[in-house]
Amino acid sequence: MGLICGVDECRAGWIAVFKDLDAGNVFWEVLTSLVQLASTNPAPQVIAVDIPIGLPDRGLQDCDLEARKKLGRIGCCVFPAPIRDILSASSYNEACQIRFRIEGEKISKQTWGIIPKVREVDALLRQNPQVASGVREVHPEVSFFYMNRHSPLPDGKKTGAGQAQRFTFCSQISALS
């Protein structure tokens, strides 16, 4: 059975949506840890994760710059990946000091908010080379950009209209299964 998976963080841990490429079935599961994903049998051939991976030592990742460029007016929803040294920080202030020492700037609160998930993904990739080979960083808004004929969706993801637009695209993809 060929399996692909999309993963995003949620309050309970991670929401994973799977597609069985042979049967066409789509199903989902809430995972408390990504280690559970590594032990899925069969393991997904591709895991698309909405968390920065391949962290830079300094500067911005080319993929973040390209995503911002594609998304135009909503490009700010792609915030910079943290530099690798920030993963060792135990507090927001320490993370700001580390980045300031290296790049002359502090990190955003939004970036600090995802650091525990970034650490978890980074550890999974470093400890499981077989899993790592199939992991790809994705950004949902870039996916919707392509689904919407190379145009950003007009409404924000937290608005009723924006949620309806995203649900419609996801439903269409699911219906193709």
**pLDDT of amino acid 45:** 92
**pLDDT of amino acid 57:** 94
| Domain at 3-53+126-175: CATH code | 3.30.420
Q: In angstroms, rounded to a whole number, what is the distance separating the alpha carbons of residues 8 and 117? A: 10
177, pLDDT greater than 70: no
Q: Please say whether the beta carbons of 64 and 80 come within 8 A.
A: yes
Q: What is the pTM of this model?
A: 0.87
Domain with CATH 3.30.420 in the chain: 3-53+126-175
**pLDDT of amino acid 175:** 64
**pLDDT of amino acid 129:** 86
pLDDT tens track for 83-105: 999 999 999 999 999 999 999 99
Q: In angstroms, rounded to a whole number, what is the distance separating the alpha carbons of residues 36 and 146? A: 30
pLDDT tens track for 151-165: 999 998 899 999 999
Q: In angstroms, rounded to a whole number, what is the distance separating the alpha carbons of residues 151 and 144? A: 8
